Structure formats: structure tokens, C-alpha cells
């Protein structure tokens, strides 16, 4: 009985994770439920993240030019679109990475706490 509960819960987790990666959450849930949550997790980890286009610049790798609002590299001294002089931000990427690391750490601790609560509840049930 407990194996079926864990199988279902981990299948739900794979479906939610796939949904966050731009995939069909219901489809990945059904795949994990039928095949295996472990295989569903591995397949989802290997599959490309579709939540945003990979060739589009974003705030983690580029900054917007204050004159023309086009994306340029943070180290640029001159905008390639309008020629405006820019002040390079040499440590910009590392600041963004630190913010992501903090958010990831918080998500990991929340996930561990939820997992511990579910395990304790199933143990005493």
C-alpha cells in the first residue's frame, strides 16, 4: 500500500516538474504512473527546457540599453544597436547567479521538509 502511495506522489512530482519546464504535466504524470516515476524523472531531466526560448536573451545574461531598450551584454562599452556609450557591469552575471543560488537553496529545503513530513505521516499512519 505504501509503495503505491509513494509511486503516485512521485508521479505527481514528475508531472509538476515537467509542467514547470514547459512540458505537459498531465502527460508526464501519466507516463510516470504507467512506466515508473524514476524513469519519468530521468526522461524529464534529459528533455530540453521549453519554458523559455534558449536563443532569446534574458536578464541573467544580458542588460537593456538605457537609450534603445535592446539587449546587450553586460560587459559592453557601446550598444551595438544604437551606439550609445554604456557603463560595463563586470560582476552582473555573478550577482544574478547568487540570487538564483539562494532561491534554489530555499526550494531544496522546502522540498526536503515536505518529504520529511510525508514520510513521518506515512510511518505513523
- The rounded percent of the chain whose pLDDT value lies above 90 is 16
For residue 39, count other CB atoms closer than 10 A to its CB. Answer: 13
Is residue 94's pLDDT more than 70? no
C-alpha cell at 94: 555573478
105-123: average pLDDT: 84
pTM over 0.75: no
- pLDDT tens digit sequence for 41-72: 888 888 888 776 655 666 667 888 888 988 88
| Closest C-alpha to 57, from 69, 75, 73 | 73
Amino acid at each position: 500500500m505504501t509503495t503505491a502511495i509513494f509511486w503516485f506522489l512521485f508521479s505527481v512530482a514528475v508531472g509538476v516538474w515537467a509542467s514547470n519546464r514547459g512540458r505537459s504535466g498531465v502527460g508526464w504524470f501519466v507516463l510516470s504512473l504507467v512506466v515508473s516515476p524514476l524513469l519519468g524523472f530521468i526522461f524529464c531531466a534529459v528533455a530540453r527546457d521549453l519554458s523559455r526560448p534558449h536563443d532569446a536573451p534574458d536578464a541573467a545574461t544580458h542588460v537593456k540599453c538605457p537609450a534603445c531598450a535592446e539587449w546587450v551584454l553586460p560587459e559592453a562599452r557601446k550598444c551595438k544597436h544604437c551606439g550609445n556609450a554604456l557603463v560595463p557591469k563586470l560582476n552582473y552575471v555573478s550577482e544574478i547567479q547568487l540570487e538564483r543560488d539562494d532561491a534554489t537553496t530555499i526550494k531544496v529545503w522546502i522540498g526536503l521538509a515536505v518529504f520529511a513530513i510525508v514520510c513521518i505521516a506515512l510511518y505513523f499512519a
